[in-house]
Every structure is written in C-alpha cells, then in structure tokens.
A and B are shown apart, each in its own frame.
Chain A
Amino acid sequence: MSILDKMQRIDRRYIYLAAWIFVLFPLYYPLGLPVPIGRESKAWYNYIEAIPDDSVIIVSMDYGVSGMPELYPMTVATMHHLWDNCLERNWKIIVLAFWNQGPLVFDTLLSQIDPAAKYNVVYGEDWVELGWVPGSETGMAALATDMWGQTPRDYLEDRPLSEYPIMADIRTAEDVDLVISIETGTPGLPEWLRQWNDPFGVPFIVGCIGVSVPGMAPYLASGQLSALLPGLTASGEYELLLSRPGLAVAGLDAVSMSHLLVVLLVLIGNVAYFASRGKEAS
C-alpha cells in the first residue's frame, strides 16, 4: 500500500486525537493571537449602545444546555452590557425563556454575577425574570397579547407581577421596544417574527449558534433582523469591544487551532486524492 493510500485510510481515531491536541494545547498555553473585529460584533455592540433611553427590552433565553458552550459567553457579555447601562439609560430589562432549560441556564449566570452588587440594579424595578413560557409559537402569541396572563408570577422570587414596579406599564408586545433572542433553533427568530415583529413591529436582534447563521441571512438582508451575533468568534470580538474578555476570548485560540486543523486536513485529503487519481490515470 502506497503512502497516498495509507493517508486516505488513516484510522479515524488519530484524527480525533489530533482534534483533542489542537484544542487542549492552546487552552493550556494561550497563544494570545490578535483578534480582528468583524462587522457583525461591531453592529451588535453599536445597536445596543444606540438603544434609546427608557426602552423596555426583552432578553429571551431560547436555548438549553446543548447550546450553552457556544451561547453562554455571549449571554454573559450582553447582560453585562445591558445591566451596565441600565440605570443611566433607564432601560427596563425583562428576562424570559421559550426553552424550558433557559431559566436554569440563566440561574448559572446569576450564580456567577450578582447584578445588584455589581451594577446596582434593583430586581423588580430595573429588571425582572419571568421564567419559562410554554407553547413555542402559540406561547409567543399569547405572551404578546397578555404578558401578565402568561406569566402571572416572576421566576426568581415567585411573587405576583403586580408587586413589581417594572411591570406596571408593561402588559403587551406594544409596550416592548426590543427583543434580544439568544437561540439555538425552534422556537426562534421565525416564530418571533411571525408573532411579534409583523403584528406589533417589535425590532429584533439575535445571537445564535453558528449552525443557524446561514438561515439568518435573508432576515438580516430584508431588515427584519436588526443585528446578528453569530457564534463564538463574534462573541469573543464583542467581549473585546466591551473591554471585558471572558470565556469566548479564552476560547478563541482554540477556535483558531481547531480550524487550522480542519483546513490542513481538507488540504491533505485533497492533495492525496488528486495525487492518487493522477497516479491511477498514468
């Protein structure tokens, strides 16, 4: 068997081992590669910066544990950005979830960041967490017309919404100025657009896993989606724009090395393929 044939029949476990090495090495020994800022993360940052004062913002945790490694860093960065400006800009932030694991994922965030201590925001006045809303698209439609009916009590303290000043003037989708959905799939943007954007004109920005990014392109081009934060690389760029490097930045060297591995393997695979084809032809 020639070396070309051997190369094409290599045991897949060697490739898996290479993947481990290419990911673990830069995590052990960070390379500190420079990170150019892409247009998506810049647009996301600028969009949040430009949210008008006194806006009511929904942050929807539309993902579960399966999307957590990729989406959690952008959730932390976005919440930091929102809470940090919350008092000065008088934003009202409502956190909810259409994925039933969303509230517990947000619990993880709250176990690492105490918004009251770090940003001086008051629960129930500046922000509130409503928890899980069931029913996917129908749940979104129901929430749009009657937020108090769908989530009569909050998630964190389990008290009626009437006890929270933040909710006094927020009853329907008409009272909401922006939805930030961080999502992995269905229910996600298409459902949101059908139930909140088209009937009520609520603008959307979406942070999503890389797999969902190509599907977002038509919505971005048509203006139905105002900004998109696509995957971990863009999350890292966003963390740098916030001058607050976190988990995403810590993972970017590993992203670089793993992607280098994929490119090398594609290259080697094709060289071996064409070389062996040339040999067969001759």
Chain B
Amino acid sequence: MTTMWELIGVWTAVFFTLAIYSFLYGENPWFRLAEHIFAGVSVGYAVAFNLDYLRDQWVNKWSLSGTLMLLYIIAILFGILWYARFTKQYFFAYRWTLAIIVGTGIGMALRTVIFTQFLNQIMAQARLSLWVPGDLLQSFSNTMIAIMVPCVLLYFWFTGPARDKAPMSYIEKFARYTMMAGFGAAFGYTVLTRYSLFIGRAQFLLGITPNPPEARMAFYVIAATILITLFAKDHLFKKT
C-alpha cells in the first residue's frame, strides 16, 4: 500500500525528471526551476556528510588523547582558513591551507604514478609477443600495438615544423589514424552511456519494476501539463 508521502514523492520525482527534459523543446521556466533546485540541493547535500565525518572523527578517534585533541584543533583552525578566500585582506592565509592539500595530494600521487601509469604500461608494452604461434590475428594485433603506441607518443612529442618532414610526417599520419579509430570506440561507448541514463529514467517514468508503478500516471499527467504550457507559451502568448 502506497502512503500519501510516497505518492507525493513519486509525483515530485516525475515532475523534476520531465522539467529537465522540457529543455529539449527549448529554454523554459520549468527547466530553469529544476536546474536551480538541482544546484541548491547538490550543494546542501554534502553538508550533512562532511559535518558527520568531522563529528565522528572527534568522538571516536581524535578526542582519545591530548596530542590528538591538539592536532584536531589545529586542523579546525587550518580549516577555518578556507574561508579567508572570501576576504581580500586575509586571502594569503587561505593559501596555507591550500598548500597543505595540494602538497599532500601531489605527494600521494607522485609516489606511485610512476609505477601505475608509466612503468607498468611500458612493461606491458615490452611483454607483447609479436609472434603468437597458431594465432595470426593475435600476432597481427600485437604487432600493431607495438607500432601504434610509439607513434602516438611521438605524435605528442614532436609538434610544429618537425612533423612536416619524413619520417615524422608518416608517423604523424599513422598516429592520427590510430587515435581516430580509438576515438570511435569512445564515441560508441558514450552513446551507450547517454542512452543508458535516458533508458533508466524512461523505466522510472513508465513505472517498470522495481520503480513505483504510480509513476506512469504521473508521467502522463505531468508530461501533458508541461507540453500544454510550453505550446501555449509559444503559440498563444507570442501572437498576442
């Protein structure tokens, strides 16, 4: 049995879904309303989780000894400096906090990026067998990768007039074709994602299980209402 609140929730969700889709007809107040509410709710959402984390950390960890308490208080003080960015006079202090975050972040990434994104890829490249017995296609594919990767790298290394002369002119052309074929895959998967999102929302609008079945009626009513208002705005009010 659906409660009144659940029903209101379903109608609200259907309204916001369709308000966003109304943008397909053209810029309109329904979309503007939904867009602004989205921005407001998104920013407000994070407040709960961040503050909850700060409280939990204090209660369960940082209040357990004097040293930890002191460190927590210092963290809060440095945290307050985030808000110095809103003043001209104390903007310099905001940089201290930013420097901590940037420095630690760079340090975290720097210590292993050389392995995960550089050496491991080079090792994988070096491990390619150009001849796989009994598998001509795999041999061909591996040979192609062995040629394509250095070409792509050289393409980004040599820019400007260096690309105009052989052999770079050939390498550049081959690298471009490689990347274009690769970008085709990106296009294909982007189509899949965008339609998957749309299909997910369409399943909701039609109330397909496990979505609430009440959504379907709300879909018809709200879609008709929004469409009528959009047509009316375009055809009635513009002419008068």
Interface residues of A, Cβ cutoff 8 Å to B: 13, 16, 19, 23-24, 27-28, 66-70, 72, 100-101, 112, 132, 134, 137-138, 141, 149, 152-153, 160, 190, 193-195, 197-199, 209-211, 213-214, 218, 221-224, 230-233, 247, 250-251, 254-255, 258-259, 262
CB <8 Å contact, A69 and B201: yes
Q: A72-B200, A132-B53 are in contact. List 4 more A-B contacts (CB 8 A).
A: A13-B25, A152-B60, A195-B108, A231-B192
- A169 CA to B193 CA in the complex, in Å? 39
CB distance from B23 to the nearest CB of A (A): 10
A100 lies within 8 A of B189 (CB)? no
Give the residue name and chain of the B residue nearest to A108 (CB): B210
Asked whether A231 lies within 8 Å of B196 as measured between CB atoms, the reply is: yes
Q: Is the CB of B192 within 8 A of A27?
A: no
Which residue of A23, A132, A211, A262 contacts B198 across the interface (Cβ within 8 Å)? A23
Q: Report whether A209 and B193 are in contact in the complex, using a CB–CB cutoff of 8 Å.
A: yes
The smallest beta-carbon distance between A101 and chain B, in angstroms, is: 7
Number of B positions contacting A (CB below 8 A): 46
CB distance from B50 to the nearest CB of A (A): 7
Q: CB-CB < 8 A to B182: which residues of A? A: 214
Establish whether residues A198 and B116, one from each chain, have CB atoms under 8 Å apart when the complex forms. yes
Answer whether residue B166 sits at the interface, using C-beta atoms and an 8 A cutoff. Answer: no
Interface: B121 (CB within 8 A): yes
The verdict on A28 contacting B206 (CB below 8 Å), with A69-B201, A251-B196 known, is yes
How far does the alpha carbon of A210 sit from the alpha carbon of B198 in the complex, in Å?
13
CB proximity of A135 to chain B, nearest CB, Å: 9
Complex CA distance for A224 and B118, rounded to whole angstroms: 12
Give B196 Cβ to nearest chain A Cβ, in Å. 4
Do the beta carbons of A134 and B105 come within 8 Å of each other?
no
B185 with A210: CB separation less than 8 A: no
Contact status B193-A231, CB under 8 Å: yes
What residues of A have a CB within 8 angstroms of the CB of B195 in the complex? 23, 254-255, 258-259
B109 close to A (CB within 8 Å): yes
Q: Flag whether B197 is at the interface (Cβ < 8 A).
A: yes
Q: A134-B53, A223-B124 are in contact. Are A214 and B185 (CB under 8 A)?
A: yes
Q: In this complex, what residue of B is CB-closest to A253?
A: B199
Residues of B within 8 A of A255 (CB): 192, 195-196, 199
Q: Does B159 contact A (CB under 8 A)?
A: no
Within 8 A of A (CB), among B51-66: 53, 56-57, 59-61
Which residue on chain A has the smallest CB distance to residue B59?
Answer: A152
Which 4 pairs, one residue from A and one from B, show the smallest C-beta to C-beta distance?
A69-B200, A152-B60, A222-B124, A210-B193
Q: Are A27 and B49 in touch, CB under 8 angstroms?
A: no
Tell me the minimal C-beta distance from A154 to chain B in angstroms.
Answer: 11
Tell yes or no: B140 within 8 A of A by CB: no
Residues of chain A within 8 A (CB-CB) of B191 are 210, 259, 262
Pair count A-B, CB < 8 A: 136
Verify B60–A153 contact, CB threshold 8 A: yes
Assess the B199–A232 pair: CB atoms within 8 A. Answer: yes
Instruction: Tell yes or no: B229 within 8 A of A by CB.
Output: no
16 A-B pairs in the complex with CB atoms less than 8 angstroms apart: A13-B25, A28-B206, A66-B197, A194-B108, A194-B111, A194-B112, A194-B113, A209-B193, A213-B189, A222-B121, A223-B124, A231-B192, A231-B193, A251-B203, A254-B202, A258-B199
Are B202 and A24 within 8 A (Cβ)?
A: yes
The B102-137 residues at the A interface (CB cut-off 8 A) are 104-105, 108-109, 111-113, 115-117, 120-121, 123-124
Q: Which of A19, A194, A255 has the most CB of B within 10 A?
A: A194
Q: List, in ascending order, chain B residues with CB within 8 A of A69's CB.
A: 196-201, 203
Chain B positions within 8 Å of A194 at CB level: 108-109, 111-113, 116
Q: Are A27 and B203 in contact (CB under 8 A)?
A: yes
- In contact, A137 and B105 (Cβ under 8 angstroms): yes
Given A193-B116, A222-B121, A254-B202, A70 and B197 contact (CB-CB distance below 8 Å): yes
B208 CB–A CB distance under 8 Å: yes
Contact A247 B104 (CB under 8 A): no
Contact present for A138 and B49 (CB under 8 Å): no
Residues of chain B within 8 A (CB-CB) of A198 are 112, 115-116
Interface string of B168-209 (1 = CB under 8 A from A): 000000000000001001100111110111111111001010
- The residues of A that contact B105 with a CB separation of less than 8 Å are 137-138
B39 lies within 8 A of chain A by Cβ? no
Instruction: Find out whether the CB atom of B50 lies under 8 angstroms from the CB atom of A134.
Output: yes
A233 CB contacts on chain B under 8 angstroms: 192
B24 interface contact, C-beta 8 A: yes
B46 in contact (CB, < 8 A): yes
Q: How far is the CA of A66 from the CA of B193 in the complex (A)?
A: 11
B39 → chain A closest CB, angstroms: 14
Pairwise interchain contact B203-A222, C-beta atoms closer than 8 A: no
